[in-house]
Structure 1
Amino acid sequence: MDHRIHQVPKHAVHFPTSIPSKQKQPSITFREVLNEQHPLKISKHASERIRERNIDIPEKLWHTIGEKVNEARQKGVTDSLVVLNNASLLISAKNNTVVTAMDRGENDSRIFTNINGTILIDE
């Protein structure tokens, strides 16, 4: 057994001369992250109405509706009316859920209550 001490070559270790300061990141809440990750839910009632009334909403338009509902929610809207070219949707912005759907023919004689925001979308 060799009890001699062997010299190990020194390795250069570089330490930063200054500690980087924390950059301010835009604050985003956990709820906002969840809302951005989850698309609109469609209630059973709304799903039936969309099917019965042959309302066709392409995926890209659903994405746009979801973005606008998120914007409305950030402005304090809890229940919104989304008016499209061919239909209207009542959406709970608070729950991110489509509550019901009507085609434009039905809109003429309808009164919308319990909404506190309207979103107009041109397709």
Structure 2
Amino acid sequence: MNNIINQFSSIEQLTDRYLNQNKSQNTANDSVSFEDILKQKQQTGIKFSKHATARLGQRNINLSADQSARLEKGVSEAENKGVNESLVLVDDLAFIVNVPNRTVVTAMDQTENKSNVFTNIDGAVIM
């Protein structure tokens, strides 16, 4: 008992050390959900709105790692120029992006946009 008394200056330190030890061990063993990982990854780059995600699925658009990197670079370039709503063209894909939020609002390929008219944008980036 003397060893415990000499190591801790208060009962709070003692209880924190021995009673909360199980809590810290349990949280270390908890698994991280896919949703948490996805949110973390999206915070570092570009987010896709629900609408854009639905359009990607409906139109069978799959971004390669290279295309995704170029999209992110295009958004950064638009941001540097002070653009708010941008059209970012990557290969045959078109993305409308809310630049301040770094969020893709919608996505399409060339077959979907027959008129080649984009509205409500104040800048375009071709990658």
Fold match (TM-score > 0.5) = yes
Secondary structure of 2:82's aligned partner: coil
Deviation of 1:86 (Å): 2.5
Q: One-letter code of the match for 1:68?
A: G
5+ residue gaps, structure 1, are 1-36
Asked whether the 8 Å contact 2:74–2:88 carries over to 1, the reply is no
Deviation of 1:108 (Å): 2.2
Q: Which has the higher helix share?
A: 2
The equivalences for 1:12-51 within 5 A come to 38-51=44-57
Task: Output the aligned Cα RMSD.
Answer: 1.5
Asked whether the 8 Å contact 2:49–2:104 carries over to 1, the reply is yes
Which of 98, 106, 115 is the aligned partner of 1:100? Answer: 106
Q: One-letter code of the match for 1:83?
A: L
Answering whether residue 79 of structure 2 is matched by residue 79 of structure 1, we say: no
Give me the identity figure in percent. Answer: 41
Q: One-letter code of the match for 1:120?
A: I
Query: What is the TM-score of this pair, normalised by structure 2?
Result: 0.62
5+ residue gaps, structure 2, are 1-42
Secondary structure of 1:107's aligned partner: coil
Answering whether residue 88 of structure 2 is matched by residue 88 of structure 1, we say: no
Structure-1 separation of matches of 2:121 and 2:95: 11
Runs of 4+ with deviation above 2 angstroms: none
Query: What is the TM-score of this pair, normalised by structure 1?
Result: 0.63
Secondary structure of 1:105's aligned partner: coil
Structure-2 separation of matches of 1:116 and 1:57: 24
Residue in structure 2 matched with residue 32 of structure 1 by the alignment: none
Structure of higher CA gyration radius? 1
The count of aligned residue pairs is 85
Residue in structure 1 matched with residue 121 of structure 2 by the alignment: 115
Which of 32, 52, 62 is the aligned partner of 1:56? Answer: 62
Deviation of 1:57 (Å): 1.0
Residue in structure 1 matched with residue 73 of structure 2 by the alignment: 67
Secondary structure of 1:73's aligned partner: helix
